[in-house]
Each structure stands twice: as structure tokens, then as C-alpha cells.
Amino acid sequence: MRIFSHFISVLIHPVFIVVYSFLIYFEIDSFYNKMLFIAAPKIYWLLLVFILMMAVCFPLLTMFIMFKNKIISSYSINERKERIPMLFFVIIYYSMTYYIFRHWNETLLNLLEPYVYFLFAGILLLIIVFIITFWWKISLHSASISGLCGGIMAETLVISELNNITTIMIINTVLLMLIGIVSFSRLYLKAHTFSQVITGIVLGFGIMFMTVYFKLYV
């Protein structure tokens, strides 16, 4: 069970969540995505590479540099105070990602707008978690997977004319199950207390769902 819990913690690591959101979002057969691929047929791979660079490569590189310079004591960043500088840099990378996507959205006739809601919600969640981390440790794993679930659920409600609703419902069901699996794994590994995991779930799902559902971004 310990091996399984470690595997889940790596597979559903917060650093990969934005990539998962991108892959799931573009599985949605909607008017937005159809028109986007007509207007810019090769845009998918450009966006994916950009997401991988900004949301995965840069944070991992930053983590590596911090570890080598003994700013963090381990790659799991279990110490609350060590999470603060890492979260600060992640917020910068995500904000840059959001800014570029918002610019591309304006260039592409707002066809990326539903995903822009998601990215903005992610920044809000990160900022709130960052502030809380000054005083208390929250489960980033549970906040991330719950945020992904809440954001994608909200996307299915705000996007009209979904042509593959069955597929999206299956994805939403799997994401709900993953919230439970990830939370159990973090508790089993004693990485967090029950209250830290539950707070992560409530914050992640609530902020992402509400922000996307009400179509908020600046």
C-alpha cells in the first residue's frame, strides 16, 4: 500500500495538474474547440509545449536549484516554511502562463476563454494557499486534484453544445474518485493530517468551481 500511495502522489503531483487540465479540456467536443482548431489547426501542440515548459519544466528546474542550494531539504518539500519560496515562484510561472493564454485568447477571437477561466482560478487558488502556508500547512495534492475536478465540472456547465457529454461525465467521475484516492494516499503516508487534507479539498474544489462557473478573470 505504501508503494501504491507513493505512486499516486507522484502521478497526481500538483506540478502535473495544469497539463492534465489542458489534456482534459481539449477532450471536450465543444463549439469553442471546433472553431479554434479550424482557425488555428496547429495551435494544440504549440499550447501544449508552452504549458509543459511553464507549468512543469520551470517549477521542476526551480525545485532542483533550490534543493542544490539547500533552500529546500527534499523534493517532497514536507516542511511548511520551505513551501513558501517554491509557491512564490510557481505563482509567477502560472501568472505568466495565464497572461500569455489571455493574450492568445484575444488574438483567437476569445475561443480559449473557457480555459482562461480555469487558469485564472488556478492562480487564485495558489495565492490563497500561499498566504495560508505562512501559518499552516495545507495538502497541495488534495487542493490540486480537487481544483482540477471542480474546474472541469464547472467547464461542463458553462460550455454550451457539448457533443461528447458521456465522455466528460466519465472523466468527472474518475476525477471525483481520484480525490478520494489521493487524499487516502496522503493520509496513509502521514504527509498531512485529516484537517489539512479536507481543507485542501474544500478550498481547491470551491475556488476552482466558483471562479470558472461565474466566468471570472481579469
Amino acid type, 62:
T
24-58 pLDDT, tens per residue? 999 999 989 999 999 888 899 999 999 999 999 99
Containing 35, the helix (H) or strand (E) segment is: helix 31-39
Instruction: Quote the CA–CA distance of 131 and 150 in Å, as a whole number.
Output: 21
* Residue 166: CB atoms within 10 Å: 8
pTM: 0.95
> Would you state the cell numbers that stand for residue 43, as one nine-digit string?
495551435
**Is 86 within 8 Å of 67 (Cβ atoms)?**
no
* Extents of the domains making up the chain: 2-213
Q: What is the DSSP annotation of 80-125?
A: HHHHHHHHHHHHHHHHHHHHHHHHHHHHTTTTTHHHHHHHHHHHHH
Give pLDDT tens digits for 147-204. 999 999 999 999 877 888 899 999 999 999 999 999 999 999 998 999 999 999 999 9
